[in-house]
Amino acid sequence: MTVAAAIPPEGPSPEASSDQAAVLARYDELGELLAGMDDRPPADPELWGPASAALLHEARLLDAGRFEDWLCGWTDDAVLWVPLSSPAHPGTDQSLLLDDRRRLAERVEWRRDPSAWGQQPPSRTVRIVGGVEAWPAPGGLVTRSTLLIDEHRHGRRQQLAGCQIHELVGDGLRRRTKILVVPALGTGVRNPSFLL
């Protein structure tokens, strides 16, 4: 059977099913969070302390290679998204990655695999988090911060700068959403598999 013949004459899904709609709703949420960031009012200074503590803790875990501990800080409906440009939409634009909780777990497993040559030997990184801003959001808060990652591997060094957006929820400020925007991805970077 050809591909064209396999499409039912009435079309596959005139009304998006609730399954598909849920995916699109999450994608829209991500796209809007990214697109609306620059229009936000000045941040809430009272949230700066807890937001900074959460972001610095994450950076410390990643730099220390404590990926299993880092994984524990995500919610079950988590998404880590690294678009290639901004603005972007996860349902129409190619991304470097968009991980759900399952693929985040696989990523941690991959980082532990001695034959994952792209990270063996592993990158050594130093993350410098700055410019932290935070706003209240349903169930927690939304933050924007700048990030400089100094990466060293195989005797070579690269520095990537960007900004990161976090949606942190619940008493433990667990990560529900993280969007990492690195402009250099639009011009070419070397093996970006250390980017988390």
Partner 1 sequence: MPADFDPPTIDFEQLVQPHRVHRRLYTDPQIFGLEMTRVFAASWCYVGHESEIPEPGDYRTTTLGLRPVLMTRGRDGGINVLLNRCAHRGTVVAGEERGCAKRFVCPYHGWTYSPDGRLVAIPFPADHPAQDYSTLSLGRLEAASYRGFVFATLNADPEPLDCWLGEAREALDTIIDRHPGGEIAVMGSPQLLEFAGNWKLSWDNAADGLHATFAHHSYNTLGETVDVETVLARDPGSTPMVSKALRNGHMVVDQRPGIPQGPWATMRDVPFREPLESTLADAGAAELLDLATGSMLNLSLFPNLIFVGNQLLVVEPVAVDRTRLQLWLTSAPGAPPEIDLLRLRVDEDFVNFGTPDDLDMFERVQRGLSIPEMEWIDMSRGLPDDSTADGSVYGPITSEAPQRRYLAHYAELMTTPAKTRAL
Footprint of partner 1 (CB under 8 A): 1, 3-4, 6-8, 11-13, 16-17, 19-20, 22-24, 26, 79, 84-85, 88, 90-100, 102-103, 106-107, 109-110, 113, 115-120, 154, 156, 185-193
Dist. CA 46–CA 79, nearest whole Å: 26
Shortest distance, CB of residue 188 to partner 1, whole angstroms? 4
DSSP tag of 192: -
Nearer to partner 1, 107 or 174 (CB): 107
Shortest distance, CB of residue 155 to partner 1, whole angstroms? 9
Structure tokens at 119: 């990270």
Cβ contact 54:167 at 8 Å: no
Shortest distance, CB of residue 137 to partner 1, whole angstroms? 23
Nearer to partner 1, 26 or 174 (CB): 26
Nearer to partner 1, 16 or 53 (CB): 16
Shortest distance, CB of residue 50 to partner 1, whole angstroms? 29
Q: Which residue has the tokens 């980017």?
A: 195
Dist. CA 145–CA 59, nearest whole Å: 12
Q: How far from 147 is each of 3, 53, 117, 162, 169, CA to CA, in Å?
A: 46, 15, 26, 5, 21
